[in-house]
A and B are shown apart, each in its own frame.
Chain A
Amino acid sequence: MSNIVQQLLSGNEAVARGAWEAGCQFAAAYPGTPSTEILESLATYPEVYCEWSVNEKVALEVALGAALAGVRSLAAMKHVGLNVAADPLFSSAYIGVRGGLVVVTADDPGLHSSQNEQDNRFYGLAAKIPVLCPSDSQEAKDWTRLGFEISEEFDIPVLLRLTTRVAHSRSVVKLPTADGRRPAADLGEFQKELPKMNLLPVFARVRHIDLERRLDKLQRYSETTPINRMEILETELGIICDGVAYQYAREVFPSASFLKLGMVYPFPRELVLKFAEKVKEIVVIEEVDPFIELQTRALGLKVRGKDVLPRTGELNPAIIRRVLGQENSEGDRRQAESPVEDVPNRPPALCPGCPHLGLFYSLQKQKAIIGGDIGCYTLGALPPHNAMDTCIDMGASITFAHGVDKALGDADPRPRVAIIGDSTFFHSGITGLINAVYNNSNVVVIIADNRTTGMTGHQDHPGTGKTLKGLETVKIDIAALCRACGVKECIRVDPYRLKETKRIIQKTLKEKKTAVIISERTCALVAKEKKPPKRIDPEKCIGCRACLSLGCPALSFSNGKALIIETRCNGCGMCGEICPKEAIG
Chain B
Amino acid sequence: MNLLVCGVGGQGVLLFSRVVAHLALTMGLDVKMSEVHGMAQRGGSVTSHIRWGKIVYSPLIEEGTADIVVAFEQLEALRYIHFLAKTGKLFYDPLQIEPLPVQLGLVEGLSESAVNSRLSALGCYPVPAFKLACELGEPRIQNTVMLGAISHFLEFPISLYQEVLRSLIKSQHLEINLRALTAGRNIIRPKTKDGSPTSLG
Residues of A within 8 A of B (CB): 6-8, 10, 33-34, 36-37, 112-113, 136, 165, 168-172, 244, 246-248, 250-251, 316-318, 321, 328, 330, 332-340, 342-351, 376, 379, 383-384, 455-457, 545, 548, 551, 553, 555-557, 567
Contact = CB atoms under 8 A, between A and B. Distances in A.
Given A8-B21, A456-B38, A548-B105, A335 B62 contact: no
A165 B32 CA distance: 11
Contacts of A344: 75, 99, 101-102, 107-110
B100 A340 contact: no
Contact of A170 (B35, B62, B81): B35
Nearest to B45: A346
Interface of B: 8-9, 18, 21-22, 25, 30-45, 56-60, 62-65, 75-76, 78-79, 81-88, 98-110, 122, 139
B39 A113 contact: yes
Contacts, number: 188
Contacts of B30: 171-172
Given A333-B85, A335-B88, A339-B82, A113 B107 contact: no
A376 B42 CA distance: 8
Given A340-B79, A349-B42, A553 B100 contact: yes
A340 B41 CA distance: 22
Q: What 7 A-B pairs come out closest when comparing CB atoms? A: A113-B38, A33-B38, A348-B44, A334-B64, A169-B59, A348-B42, A346-B99
5 contacts: A33-B37, A172-B25, A339-B82, A344-B110, A548-B104
A335 B81 CA distance: 9
B49 to A, nearest CB: 8
A171 B103 contact: no
Interface of B is mostly: mixed
A332 B21 CA distance: 27
Contacts of A37: 37
Contact of B82 (A330, A337, A556): A337
Contacts of A136: 32, 59
Contacts of A342: 110
A457 B82 contact: no
A336 B106 CA distance: 32
B119 to A, nearest CB: 10
Nearest to A247: B57
Nearest to B60: A316
A248 B57 contact: yes
A251 B78 CA distance: 27
A168 B38 CA distance: 11
A273 B88 CA distance: 45
B102 A335 contact: no
Nearest to B41: A348
A31 to B, nearest CB: 10
A112 B86 contact: no
Nearest to B29: A172
B73 to A, nearest CB: 9
Contacts of B57: 246-248, 250-251
Contacts of B65: 328, 330, 333-334
B129 to A, nearest CB: 14
B75 A346 contact: yes
Contact of B106 (A248, A251, A335, A384): A384
Contacts of B31: 8, 170-172
